[in-house]
Homo-oligomer: A and B are copies of this chain.
């Protein structure tokens, strides 16, 4: 089972499904927009790694932990991203074992498009829900993060 599962008799579908549906819808929109703009040479799995790369570069182990995959898998995906020109690997000046995965121009250009789509979709959602309910939604989700995000700041 996944989080989409659960009883649907009493109060409608379970909250997991309700969370998942808009998430997937947003993701689909982002992918479509990027593909249309010519950024069609990466996969969803690669994207999940890509989006974790900080402007200053991020270690492979850190990427793996945040994406909840093994470092071997992360390394495999970063290899693809490197070949496609989205990232570079640079030595970490503070630790000679480590290398920093750094975003290339191509990555930041793609991210700009992705950000625009996110903003557009969020506007649509706010319009559909109304300003007040949209604010309440974000407030509740932000609170929920405290008990569901192991990486919560």
Q: What residues make up the interface of A, taking CB atoms closer than 8 Å to B?
A: 1-7, 11-12, 14-16, 18-27, 30-31, 34, 44, 47-48, 50-51, 68, 110-111, 114-115, 118-119, 122, 124-125, 128-129, 133-134, 136-149
> Taking A2-B27, A2-B47, A44-B2 as contacts, is the C-beta distance between A129 and B140 under 8 angstroms?
yes
Which residues of chain B have C-beta atoms less than 8 A from A16's C-beta?
Answer: 22-23, 26-27, 118
> Taking A18-B145, A19-B141, A140-B134 as contacts, is the C-beta distance between A5 and B114 under 8 angstroms?
yes
> Taking A133-B136, A137-B137, A143-B133 as contacts, is the C-beta distance between A50 and B1 under 8 angstroms?
yes
Which residues of chain B have C-beta atoms less than 8 A from A144's C-beta?
Answer: 18, 21-22, 125, 128-129, 137
Which residues of chain B have C-beta atoms less than 8 A from A27's C-beta?
Answer: 2-3, 16
Please measure, in the bound complex, the distance between the C-alpha atom of A144 and the C-alpha atom of B11, giving whole angstroms: 16
